[in-house]
Amino acid sequence: MQTANVNRLTPYLFLAPAGIIMAVALLYPIGYMIYASFLDWNPSQRIGEAEFIGLRNYLNLLGDAAFRESFWVTLKFAAIVVTVEMLLGVGLALLLDRNIRGMSLLRTLFILPMMIAPVVVGLMWRYMYHPTVGIFNRTLKSLGLEPIPWLSDGNWAFASVIIADIWQWTPFIFILSLAALQSLPQSAMEASRIDGATGWQQIIHIKLPLMMPVLIVTLLLRLIDAFKVLEVILVLTNGGPGLSTEILSLRISRTASEFRELGEAAAMSNVLLILLMILTFAMFAYSKAVEIRTARLRAAAEETAI
């Protein structure tokens, strides 16, 4: 009797450490942040002393032009970098998915950028973008062209942070796409060759659709990352000039540290979190629905099997 009880408890016992770590490391901070977003709280107060103000932080955000600007910059930034990175990454993967001598070395070189710490990437690009001694402007000058205000003009600064991000994160999409390509069913490729598909037709009709599940997850991961990006932009422009490159995470960090509005910052974080969660859940719900439908139809087919 007693042994039976112990046996039944065993799995929970094994799960307990993971559960506790989850609670401490994940649920507690999130709960803390959600609670804080309902408070008018500055860093000199303990959390218990802060005044509870309900949804006022969220309402303030709606009226805050700087927040809306920052939100818009983030959306623009994420949309552009993820689109360009997806196109480049998938394109490179399609190009390099073949067995040529030296290809494995080339592949390794391609993924180097994403192994570099973001702060280092930021510093590196800042020197390259430097108005007088940076490689870009020196090159332009030696070609007899006008120097470009890479980081001092609003539009150029936005373009500059996008270029740096694309440089660093295209490899991520590249390796995931390459892995997806190499695990595609070989016989379906062969069947399409027999069916008369050219290389391009194979890519469009077979490879890309079959890679789609991986591409969607990759896109989602990159999108989440792009919404949270901080270090490179912090080092490159610190959000400037003006608010031209002030993405949401920078705004949050400034609201907390410069403006000393912890409740407001927490509310911003929550808005970002909700946005990302909607994206993620929509994606999960979609793939789950497809999975269930397939399983149901297949079970029906097996039952009435010929």
Partner 1 sequence: MPKIFFDQVSKSYGAVEVLPPFDLTLEDGEFTVLVGPSGCGKSTTLRMLAGLETLSNGEIYFDDRAISKLEPKERDLAMVFQDYALYPHMNIAKNMSFALRLARVSKSEIDEKVLRVAKMLNIAHLLDRKPAELSGGQRQRVAMGRALVRDAGTFLFDEPLSNLDAKLRGKMRAELAEMRDTIDKNMVYVTHDQVEAMTLGDRIVVMSDGYIQQQGTPEALFKHPVNKFVAGFIGSPTMNFLDADLVEERGLTWVRGDGFMLPLSDETGKRMADAKNRNVTVGIRPSSFLTDASNGAPMELKVVVSEYLGAQSVLITRCSETDVVVETQSAQPLQTGSVQIFGVKTDEIMVFEKSSGRRL
Residues that bind partner 1 (CB under 8 A): 185, 187-188, 190-197, 201, 205-206, 209-210, 212, 294, 297-298, 301-302, 305-306
Residue 181 or 226 with smaller CB distance to partner 1:
181
Tell me if 284 sits within 8 A of 216, measured CB to CB: no
Query: In sequence order, what E strands does 13-98 have?
Result: 39-40, 51-52
* Contact present, 223 and 78 (Cβ < 8 Å): yes
Taking the complex as a whole, the smallest distance from the CB of residue 193 to partner 1 amounts, in Å, to 5
181 versus 233: smaller Cβ distance to partner 1: 181
For the chain, the helix, strand and coil percentages under 3-state DSSP, each to the nearest 5: 75, 0, 20
Q: How far is the CB of 51 from partner 1 (least distance, A)?
A: 56
Task: Give the shortest CB-291-to-partner 1 separation in angstroms.
Answer: 10
Cβ closest to partner 1, residue 43 vs residue 196: 196
SS3 annotation, 256-291: HHCCCCHHHHHHHHHHHHHHHHHHHHHHHHHHHHHH
Torsion of CA 192, 198, 199, 203, to 10 degrees: -60
Q: Which is nearer to partner 1, 192 or 280 (CB)?
A: 192
Q: Which is nearer to partner 1, 260 or 296 (CB)?
A: 296
Q: How far is the CB of 91 from partner 1 (least distance, A)?
A: 20
70 exposure class (CB count in 10 Å sphere: 0-12, 13-18, 19+): buried
